[in-house]
Amino acid sequence: MAAPFLTLRDVTLTFGGAPLLHGAELMVHEGDRLCLVGRNGSGKSTLLKIAADILQSDGGERVVQSGVTIRYLPQEPDLSGFSTTLAYVEAGLGPGDDPHRARRLLEDLGLHGDEDPKTLSGGEIRRAAIARVLAPEPDVLLLDEPTNHLDLPAIEWLEAELKSMKSALVLISHDRRFLENLSRATIWLDRGRTRRMERGFTAFEAWRDELLELEEKERHKLDRKIAMEMDWLRYGVTARRKRNQRRLADLGSLRERRKTERRVQGEVKMGIAEADQSGKLVIEAKGVSKAWDRPIVTDFSTRIARGDRVGVVGANGAGKSTLLGLLTGTLAPDGGSVKIGHGVEMVTLDQKREALDPAATLKETLTGGVGDNVRVGTEMRHVVSYMKDFLFPPEQVNTPVGVLSGGERGRLMLARALAKPSNLMVLDEPTNDLDLETLDLLEEMLGDYPGTVLVVSHDRDFLDRVCSSVVMSEGAGRWVEYAGGYSDMIAQRGAGVAARKVEKPEAGPRPEKSAAPVRDEPKKRRLSFKEKHALETLPGKIETLQKDLGELHEMLADPDLYARDPKRFDRVSKAVDEKARALSEAEDEWLALEMLKEELEG
């Protein structure tokens, strides 16, 4: 086998207390697709920084093959010191790298290149940083949470781009689907050490559980051996002779081994404080519309019943949070009506964690600043006991929220939200910064929750596991509800959400200054003949397509059609898909033209 591009051997690192890394190893060969997994706080990002030569370890060895290029994507990219996003991306290029690729990647990611880094959102900063590390097409890519702050179109674009590249990959991500689609081998960082499996993330959980089960059996054997030696010490022969003194020393060694053995960190224990059951109808929206500088929601109607799990998906800026606000009554619609059902008690998990006071301690955040107990439904729990359920050690009880990591803030928001009685849970990007095991438990908890769930998420696997229906942004303020999870939505639409390019507006020539400028009145834009003709003919086309679709559905309703004529059944099924797609396109075109007409006439 050829020499590896990058090797870490016997890496150790301690920040005080128990070692964070203790004999950790990483080996990256040409074409490798590795995912690095482990709990929040296990040292994954630290190991990646050591691999990128950004952080020095206390011990161990880092070896890079001569001529190998490495690029590292940090969790929090720093664009300070650069005048534009293009300048930032081009600064990452090496001699001989293609500068045109830098601009192309920025445009694919929805940026122009002339943006001021000081004005960028978190998602735009992440996109610029991704363009910077991908542009040189390095031999090794080290990516720390590349999907953070990205919407679904950008995540799917990034996935396709990485698949097409020859670079070896080392990925840290909480996006399960992203890891499953890209990884071919898995590195598990657990209690300071790494273990490698030559299979992708899909097989990780079964492999991890097998290892933990073997470990528990070994621990049980050790406990039994200690118990036997203790029995000998109490009831056996006197320990005066040298042989017995040696056996006594061996017992001390066993005890020390048992004491110093690093055990698996406890599991998150989640439970929702349930309110009384709501009425059968939880939310009913009729013809709801909302516009800011453009239409965000146009004529949207839905009925959400008790027990439904509704996901809301779309690109950044599509209006997901706006739609959530309209459905929950926290935002007034411009048109239409929203009715909240009887007995609904709602709890909300904020996307940006803005509801957390950075100066408050964990104790004050959970107790409301009163006493030492947390009210979980009708039960009173001591704050330290409740913190342990969410993997916060007792010594963090007086830690300010502002110094917590993103994952810890996410767990704190969950702990506070789940303590409140509810029968409607509204989750805006709940999966941000949560590790995979916490995500698993959150999914299980939502599956057992007897109330109703509204969730905005870019995590495809989470949507598939949790949702009974998905409301999708189709553009121009149009939202459509599909049965099932994210994968079911794609099957019904025929495609996912494509990444959109943002065209850079062309700057026209600047007029020369004059003492007395002459201002011409701009010509009023009118509908073209083609647009007028389409506006007149599209309703008839839509009506015909609806009629054709109805007839095809009637044919498929025949329960004996498949048995009688399988080929005809296949032809009719394909025709249904084609007609449905044509109908959707015609409706979108008519809606866009109608809105354009109203804008021009208004």
- The stretch 272-283 carries a mean pLDDT of 68
Residue 533: per-residue pLDDT:
73
Residue 430: per-residue pLDDT:
82
Using CA atoms, how far apart are residues 308 and 296, in angstroms rounded to an integer? Answer: 24
> What DSSP designation does 75 have?
S
Using CA atoms, how far apart are residues 297 and 472, in angstroms rounded to an integer? Answer: 11
With CA atoms as reference, report the closest residue to 496 among 542, 529, 541, 460: 460
More confident residue, 287 or 277: 287
The region of weakest confidence among 106-110, 261-265, 448-452 is 261-265
Checking if the pLDDT of 388 tops 90, the result is no
Using CA atoms, how far apart are residues 102 and 89, in angstroms rounded to an integer? Answer: 6
Amino acid at the residue 391: L
Backbone CA torsion sign across 78, 84, 87, 90 = positive
Say how many C-beta atoms besides its own lie within 10 A of residue 544's C-beta: 14
Checking if the pLDDT of 518 tops 50, the result is no
- pTM summary value: 0.68
Residue 69 · residue 94 · CB < 8 Å: yes
Per-residue pLDDT tens for 583-592? 777 776 776 7
Checking if the pLDDT of 271 tops 80, the result is no
CATH architecture of the domain formed by 6-206? 3-Layer(aba) Sandwich (3.40)
Checking if the pLDDT of 447 tops 60, the result is yes
Q: Across 122-126, 136-140, 418-422, which has the greatest mean pLDDT? A: 136-140
> What DSSP designation does 268 have?
P
What class has domain 281-493? Answer: alpha beta
Model confidence at 436, pLDDT cuts 50, 70, 90, reads confident
Residue 512: per-residue pLDDT:
43
Per-residue pLDDT tens for 448-504? 788 899 999 888 999 998 899 999 988 889 999 998 888 888 888 876 554 444 444
Checking if the pLDDT of 598 tops 80, the result is no
DSSP-derived secondary structure for 479-523: EEEEESSHHHHHHHHSS-------PPPPPPPPPPP-SS---PPPP
Backbone CA torsion sign across 292, 293, 299, 301 = negative
Checking if the pLDDT of 11 tops 60, the result is yes
Residue 587: per-residue pLDDT:
72
Model confidence at 516, pLDDT cuts 50, 70, 90, reads very low
In CATH terms, 529-601 corresponds, of 1.10.287, 1.20.1740, 1.10.357, 1.10.10, to 1.10.287
The region of weakest confidence among 19-23, 41-45, 574-578, 591-595 is 591-595
More confident residue, 230 or 39: 39
Q: How much of the chain, in percent, has pLDDT values that exceed 90?
A: 37
Using CA atoms, how far apart are residues 264 and 225, in angstroms rounded to an integer? Answer: 21
